[in-house]
Amino acid sequence: MIRQLNSNEIIKLLGKDFDYLQTNQNNQELFVSRDILKSVTSLLKNNPDASFNLLTCISGVDYIEYFQVVYHLTSTHHKHSCIIKVNLFGRNDLFCPSVYDLWQGADFQEREIWDLLGIYFEGHPNMKRIFLWDGFEGYPLRRDYLEAPR
């Protein structure tokens, strides 16, 4: 059985530096800001007690007031998983640090989010559209995207 860690267990794995993330609620996921995303994810990958060596899934969600990037991580050693979320506010010039240098598996998934939701991943070596052609206007998975007239 793969056990899903809650937010307090994740914070415990991160060590003393991140104690301030602690809240009274026991969430299923850990919210971090994009400034500390890289340090959090690299700790989760390299700490032997966490060793999240498999980046399962990156998803982007448009919540209209803000965008959310969701990371599902799994460890094949400890058979546990966790969810990390980053909220991005605004609708233009969105960016988020890329985790490509930690997990190569982020390659196509981050390109897909850039293509369909317009979130730019800084540090990705090949950040260009993946399904749609260069020059396509708009980001179709956004909630305010209007279809072309039929």
Partner 1 sequence: MTSELMTVNFGPQHPSTHGVFRLRITLDGETVVALEPIFGYLHRGSEKLAEERTFTQVITLTDRMDYTSAMTNNQAYVLSCEKLMEVRAPVRAQYLRVISAELSRIASHLIGTGFLINDLGAFITPLMYCFRERERILDLFEMLCGARITLTYMRVGGVFQETPSEFWPALESFLTDMEYRLDEYESLLTENEILLSRTKGVSPITTDQALNASITGPILRSTGLNWDLRVVDPYEIYNRLKFEIPIGENGDNFDRYLVRINEMRQSISIIKQCIEQIEPGEIRLDLPFLIRPDSGEAYGRVESPKGELGFYLISDGSISPYRCKVRPPSLINLTLLDEMLVGWKVADMIVTLGSLDFNMGEVDR
Judged by the rule CB under 8 A, the positions of this chain that interact with partner 1 are: 1-2, 53-57, 59-62, 70, 72, 76, 79, 83, 103-109, 112, 116, 130-133, 140-141
- Identity of the residue, 12 or 72, whose beta carbon is nearer to partner 1 in the bound complex: 72
100, 125 in Cβ contact below 8 A? yes
Residue given tokens 């959310």 in the structure block: 68
CA–CA dist 110, 10 (Å, integer): 23
Measuring CA to CA, how many Å separate 126 from each of 1, 97, 107, 120, 131? 36, 14, 8, 11, 14
- The least distance separating partner 1 from the CB of residue 70, rounded to whole angstroms, comes to 7
DSSP 145: P
- The least distance separating partner 1 from the CB of residue 1, rounded to whole angstroms, comes to 6
- Identity of the residue, 8 or 56, whose beta carbon is nearer to partner 1 in the bound complex: 56
- The least distance separating partner 1 from the CB of residue 15, rounded to whole angstroms, comes to 23
- The least distance separating partner 1 from the CB of residue 16, rounded to whole angstroms, comes to 28
Three-state DSSP state, 55: strand
- Identity of the residue, 20 or 115, whose beta carbon is nearer to partner 1 in the bound complex: 115
Measuring CA to CA, how many Å separate 8 from each of 16, 51, 93, 115? 12, 17, 32, 34
- Identity of the residue, 15 or 42, whose beta carbon is nearer to partner 1 in the bound complex: 42
- Identity of the residue, 21 or 70, whose beta carbon is nearer to partner 1 in the bound complex: 70
- The least distance separating partner 1 from the CB of residue 145, rounded to whole angstroms, comes to 8
